[in-house]
Amino acid sequence: MSNEPQILNRTKYGSLVYCKSCAQFHLSYGQFHLSLCKKEFVNFYKFLKSLDLDYWEQHYGNGTKRKIPIPTLQDNLYLMLTRAELEEIKGLMQYDRQSLSILSVDDIDYQFILN
């Protein structure tokens, strides 16, 4: 069906889906989900690429594991990420329709117990 959401990219912790019916990119990563129109998607990606990771990691020092803040419209709410998480999100946003891969069993973080 042409109106079904199309999975553009996925990783162990997130996915990028495009929904033609609402013309939105849905970026899910960890505990957050962003719905972005094309312009917002492009601008968000440019913002992520422009972040000075070394500055933020030094700014927050040893105070917290996640040191890279992503501001939201709510002044007192930031998404805090590690360098690895940020790189994974940027990787999710750089989708290539030719190279979509299926998750392997090793990518699924689940303890399987045989009775």
* Residue 113 is assigned to a structural domain of this protein: no
Contact yes or no for 46/29 (Cβ under 8 A): no
Domain that holds residue 25: 6-38+50-95
* Residue 102 is assigned to a structural domain of this protein: no
- Give yes or no for residue 10 having a pLDDT over 80: yes
What predicted TM-score, i.e. pTM, was given to this entire model?
0.75
Q: Which residues of 96-114 are buried (b: 16+ CB within 10 A; e: fewer)?
A: eeeeeeeeeeeeeeeeeee
* Residue 30 is assigned to a structural domain of this protein: yes
Count: domains in the chain: 1
Residue type, 74: Q
Encode pLDDT of 50-74 as tens digits. Answer: 999 999 999 888 878 999 999 999 9
With bands split at pLDDT 50, 70 and 90, how would you rate the model's confidence at 96?
A: low
Q: What is each CA distance from 108 to 8, 12, 74, 77, in whole angstroms? A: 19, 7, 33, 30
Tokens representing residue 35 in the block: 């719905």
* Residues in the chain, total: 115
d(CA 103, CA 12): 7
